[in-house]
Amino acid sequence: MQAFGPLLATEVRRHRRPLGQKCYVDEAFFFRGKEKRYLYRAVDEHGQVVDVLFREHRDTESAAAFFRQALARTGWQPAQVISDHHQPYVRAVQEVLPEAEHVRTGLHRARGETTKPIERSHVFTRDRLRGARGVKTLPTGQRFFEGFEGFEALHALRRGHTRLVDLVPGHDPARATVHQRVRAVAHAVTALGAALIKAVAPAA
């Protein structure tokens, strides 16, 4: 997990679908003993995960660091950033994404944008982390959330956020049955594994 997680995440990002125009951002918190740690996450309007960043503090510096990392990795410039009313997002968006419209909202609204897409997106990660018995350090957590099986990288394959046809020649997502899609994901994982082996072979 620690050795190949980041490599897997990088490889999956190369094949994912283009990101949308909206960025829903929020942070989920996890406990290490009595101490809180914060996982910054963002999804687009299609539910595709943009990026993740595991941090010790929940502040402007962390929010800005998350946006800078996401931009560096994706080159994405969303037209709109939707967040809750957490104050540090105001300065972070102004600093890193000055051209984007910043919408501050909440989970329950009668009309308009809500933070529901990102709140729902947290559920999967929380559920899988319980079975993994938590994380002990920030670097370990970052690698874990990015690449461990069932988390962001392979979740993108399962949710259709990755172009499977790039990894599985002949796959037709429009006509594929559920079973064919499952097999395609399995073949994609095999192809990604082969790519990782090839990438680390010279070092070995």
**Domain CATH for 45:** 3.30.420.10
Is 153 among the domain residues? no
Is 76 among the domain residues? yes
Is 174 among the domain residues? no
Alpha-carbon distances of 51 from 18, 82, 163, 181, 193, rounded to whole Å: 13, 15, 17, 24, 21
Among positive and negative, which fits the CA dihedral 47, 24, 115, 58?
A: positive
Identify the CA nearest to 103 among candidates 85, 119, 81. Answer: 81
What distance in Å separates the CA atoms of residue 194 and residue 8, rounded to the nearest whole number?
11
Q: Reduced to 3 states, what is the DSSP secondary structure of residue 55?
A: strand
Is 72 among the domain residues? yes
Query: What mean pLDDT do residues 181-188 have?
Result: 82
CA atoms in the 13 A half-sphere facing the CB of 164: 25
Domain carrying residue 54: 17-135
Q: Reduced to 3 states, what is the DSSP secondary structure of residue 97?
A: coil
Lowest-pLDDT range, 21-25, 32-36, 56-60, 174-178?
32-36
The per-residue pLDDT for 150 is 43
Amino acid (1-letter code) at residue 160: G
Is 103 among the domain residues? yes
Confidence class of residue 175 from pLDDT cuts 50, 70 and 90? confident
Return the top range by mean pLDDT from 11-15, 41-45, 135-139. 41-45
Is 6 among the domain residues? no
Q: Whole-number mean pLDDT of the chain?
A: 81
Is 179 among the domain residues? no
The per-residue pLDDT for 129 is 63
Return the top range by mean pLDDT from 33-42, 123-132, 145-154, 188-197. 33-42
Is 64 among the domain residues? yes
CB 192 within 8 A of CB 154: no
Total domain count for the chain?
1
